[in-house]
Amino acid sequence: MASPADPPPTRAADPLRGAAHGALAPKAAPDQSAPDREPAAGSLVEGAASGARGRWRRLAPLAGLLAGGAAAWWFAGDLLSFEALRDNREALVAWRDANYALAAGVYMLIYVLAVAFSAPGGLALTLAGGFLFGMAAAPMIVVAATAGATLIFLAARHGLGGALEARARGSGGAMARLRAGIARNEISFLLLMRLVPVVPFFVANLAPAFLGVSLRNFVLTTLFGIIPGTVVYTWVGAGLAEVFARDEAPDLGVIFEPHVLGPLLALCALAAAPMLLRGRLGKDAR
Say how far apart CA 154 and CA 1 lie, in whole Å: 105
Say how far apart CA 115 and CA 62 lie, in whole Å: 13
Closest C-alpha among 204, 223, 226 to residue 156: 204
Secondary structure class of 214 (helix, strand, coil)? coil
Q: What is the mean pLDDT of the chain?
A: 78
Residue 27 φ then ψ, to 5°: -85, 150
226 C-beta neighbours (distance < 10 Å), count: 19
Per-residue pLDDT tens over the stretch 89-113? 999 999 999 999 999 999 999 999 9
- DSSP category for residue 211: T
Say how far apart CA 35 and CA 32 lie, in whole Å: 8
* Share above pLDDT 70 across residues of the chain, in percent, rounded to a whole number: 66
Per-residue pLDDT tens over the stretch 99-156? 999 999 999 999 999 999 888 888 999 999 999 999 999 999 999 999 999 999 998 8
> How long a stretch of residues is the chain?
286
Task: Please tell me the predicted confidence (pLDDT) of residue 182.
Answer: 79
Closest C-alpha among 194, 198, 204, 261 to residue 225: 194
Per-residue pLDDT tens over the stretch 2-49? 444 444 444 444 544 444 444 445 555 555 554 555 555 555 555 555
Cβ pair 55, 162 in contact under 8 A = no
Q: Which of 50-64, 179-193, 208-222, 241-255 has the lowest mean pLDDT?
A: 50-64
Task: Please tell me the predicted confidence (pLDDT) of residue 4.
Answer: 46
Residue ranges of the domains in the chain? 49-285
